[in-house]
């Protein structure tokens, strides 16, 4: 589902049940962008590739309001917090959380199942079971909005 006001241009592939919200900008003009299933791209997110470097966003990813992804890889079941920035050639592995306002530097690699915060980002600990469940609850919440917003357009 793509709401009015979101901008998608160039070589962009979007998976099923992914939501793209107000004023999000996804620019596949320099490099291809692939976005998985059941991913939430919230208001004012920017996703852009670097010439020669594509962007990959996995399944069940939550990109918080105002986040910026540039030429990076985000694996499945990840949360990128509000206003966080992930730069070129960085990798955020499966099931991790990047805190709000954090900066993942160029080429930085965040291992699976951790929470990382700060500028520059540093891993502070492994996720708790409650936090892992919270990632899935967030996915379910935004996938659930598809039906609600679809009924408004009818």
The vertex-50 CA angle with 47 and 54, nearest 5°, equals: 70
Which segment of 76-80, 87-91, 148-152 scores lowest on mean pLDDT?
148-152
- Condensed to tens digits (0 to 9), the pLDDT of residues 5-26 reads 999 999 999 999 999 999 999 9
User: d(Cα 124, Cα 102) in Å, to the nearest integer?
Assistant: 13
- Condensed to tens digits (0 to 9), the pLDDT of residues 92-120 reads 999 999 999 999 999 999 999 999 999 99
Q: Where are the domains of the chain?
A: 7-153
Residue 39: pLDDT band by 50, 70, 90 thresholds? very high
User: d(Cα 26, Cα 48) in Å, to the nearest integer?
Assistant: 6
| Whole-number Cα distances in Å, 34 to 10, 27, 134, 139 | 11, 11, 24, 18
The mean pLDDT of the chain is 95
Residue 143 has pLDDT above 60, yes or no: yes
Tell me which architecture the domain covering 7-153 has in CATH: 3 Solenoid (2.160)
pLDDT more than 90, % of the chain = 90
Using alpha carbons, select from 88, 82, 85, 75 the residue that is nearest to residue 30: 88
Residues 72, 89 contacting (CB under 8 angstroms): yes
| Whole-number Cα distances in Å, 37 to 1, 15, 76, 82, 119 | 11, 4, 9, 20, 29
**22 Cα distance to chain centroid:** 15
- Condensed to tens digits (0 to 9), the pLDDT of residues 117-133 reads 999 999 999 999 999 99
For the chain, helix, strand, coil in percent to 5 are 15, 40, 45
Specify the 3-state DSSP secondary structure of 116. Answer: strand
- Condensed to tens digits (0 to 9), the pLDDT of residues 58-70 reads 999 999 999 999 9
Position 27 scores a pLDDT of 97
Residue 154: pLDDT band by 50, 70, 90 thresholds? very low
User: d(Cα 42, Cα 35) in Å, to the nearest integer?
Assistant: 13
Position 89 scores a pLDDT of 97
């Amino acid at each position: 589902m793509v709401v009015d006001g979101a901008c998608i241009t160039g070589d962009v592939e979007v998976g099923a049940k992914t939501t793209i919200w107000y004023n999000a900008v996804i620019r596949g003009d320099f490099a291809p962008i692939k976005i998985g299933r059941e991913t939430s791209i919230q208001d004012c997110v920017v996703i852009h590739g670097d010439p020669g470097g594509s962007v990959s966003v996995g399944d069940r990813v939550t990109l918080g309001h105002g986040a910026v992804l540039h030429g990076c890889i985000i694996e499945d079941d990840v949360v990128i917090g509000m206003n966080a920035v992930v730069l070129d050639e960085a990798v955020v592995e499966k099931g991790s959380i990047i805190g709000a306002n954090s900066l993942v530097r160029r080429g930085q690699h965040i291992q699976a199942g951790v929470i990382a915060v700060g500028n520059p980002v540093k891993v502070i600990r492994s996720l708790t079971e409650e936090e892992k469940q919270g990632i899935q609850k967030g996915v379910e919440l935004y996938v659930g909005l598809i039906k609600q917003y679809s009924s408004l357009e009818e």
